[in-house]
Structure 1
Amino acid sequence: MNRHVAVVMGGPSAEREVSLTTGREVALALEGRGYRVSRVDAAKDLAERLRELEPDVVFNALHGRYGEDGTVQGLLEIMGLPYTHSGVLASALAIDKPMAIRLFRSVGLQCPEGVVTTPQAVLAGGVMPVPYVVKPTAEGSSVGVFIIKEEADLDRIRQLNRWAFGERVLVERYIAGRELTVVILDDKPLAVTEIRPYEGFYDYRAKYTDNQAEHVIPASLPEPVYEAAMDMALRAHAVLGCRDLTRADLRYDDSGDPSGLFLLEVNTQPGMTPLSLAPEQAAYAGIGFGELVGHLVEAAWRR
């Protein structure tokens, strides 16, 4: 395979370190399959670097702002470079959580009740009856997410030097129950995984530190709930206009039927670290990591 792939990783977002790990794993896997790989840390000179390299395909291994919100996708469109994962519009819609939720609800998908407000209003208290979740409107990897089970929990936000995640926050009703995720590959759901953190919730540390959470695949759910979770993820993927690979995060309140499923968000750039859920579900479906990343590259090349 003589195809030249630029693996774009790192960047300036809050998820830089995760992206560097994703990029490293992807680059090694592609080299193992015979691709010629250039590793590119996304900085302000990204366009110049890519012009110099003249890759056949860009593997977008970025996470968070700039790499996952349509910004880099727009640059690559202008440069005429094929790239992996979702396009400009789907990426921009998915990372804007309030906008994505409006689209999900437009096709009948159930999301937690929520309100968009300011960090100052949250800290003043009383924005919603406890328990609730406070999250940035446009971040991933659980960056800046806080579960408020009593008003005193707001002190954890007050202890931050400053709120660095934008002028708006999304406050949602906390759904007690199970954490589920579904990966979509080529418009088909792969499986449902239940995530069981050993303590707290599935936050940034639990996602990227070994021995912090158990992944149960396939999730032990009633068959109608399992099928409904996969259908919910697929419909969310479709309404956003996503392509290639996505991961939908859900909560299930253990009510015993599909009415207890709530869609939280869709991630258009799922992690590819050794602890990430998308490669794990692909492996469960019989798709090795090298095969998965090679497939994404070839899908981009065909476009």
Structure 2
Amino acid sequence: MKKNIAVLMGGRSLEREFSIKSGQRVSNALRKLGHNVIKLDVDESIVDNLNSEKIDLAYIALHGKDGEDGTIQEILEVLNIPYTGPGVYPNVLSFDKIISKQIFISHNIPTPPFYFLNASSFRE
């Protein structure tokens, strides 16, 4: 069955160009499989763009902030659009490396020692 799949790419992170390349490759593969592909560059108008299309599934090809921190996942959940990848909460937890390390330690998962360096301690 042919689906309308939105490929979300680009965004505002420093990994924007890599995300666009990933999104292009995913779009090409989905088209070869017979799906309708809607390529969307994620910017401040993403909610309007998502609402203006009939989307069966969103494929998240974003990297870094907004794509891996739970932001786009939360938008998609509010709009009731199914998407690829983990949900909001796992993204939030895994994006923050300090929280991730603390969770690993609390569950006795081996993790290398670490030191949290904030801006003020960095200046020292």
User: How much does 1:115 deviate?
Assistant: 1.9
Q: Structure 2 matches for 1:1-303, cutoff 5 A?
A: 1-124=1-124
> Aligned letter for 2:32?
G
Aligned-CA RMSD value: 1.2
Secondary structure in 1 matching 2:5: strand
Aligned length: 124
Secondary structure in 1 matching 2:115: strand
User: How much does 1:109 deviate?
Assistant: 1.4
Encode CA deviations 1:54-99: one digit per residue, 9 max, x unaligned: 2100001111111110111111000000000000000000000000
Secondary structure in 2 matching 1:72: helix
Secondary structure in 2 matching 1:81: coil
Structure 1 ranges of 4+ moved more than 3 A? none
- Give % identity: 35
Encode CA deviations 1:239-273: one digit per residue, 9 max, x unaligned: xxxxxxxxxxxxxxxxxxxxxxxxxxxxxxxxxxx
User: How much does 1:121 deviate?
Assistant: 2.5
- Structure 2: any 5+ residue segments left out of the alignment? none
Q: Quick one: distance in 1 between partners of 2:89 and 2:118?
A: 25
Q: Quick one: distance in 1 between partners of 2:51 and 2:78?
A: 12
Q: Quick one: distance in 2 between partners of 1:32 and 1:123?
A: 52
Larger fraction in strand: 1
Give the structure, 1 or 2, with the largest relative contact order (CA under 8 Å, sep 6 or more): 2
Secondary structure in 1 matching 2:111: coil
Q: Quick one: distance in 1 between partners of 2:103 and 2:27?
A: 34
Larger fraction in helix: 2
> Aligned letter for 1:39?
K
Secondary structure in 2 matching 1:115: coil
Q: Quick one: distance in 1 between partners of 2:111 and 2:17?
A: 30
User: How much does 1:16 deviate?
Assistant: 0.7
Q: Quick one: distance in 1 between partners of 2:100 and 2:36?
A: 36
TM-score normalised by the chain length of structure 2: 0.94
TM-score normalised by the chain length of structure 1: 0.40
- Structure 1: any 5+ residue segments left out of the alignment? 125-303
Encode CA deviations 1:89-145: one digit per residue, 9 max, x unaligned: 000000000001111122221112112122342353xxxxxxxxxxxxxxxxxxxxx
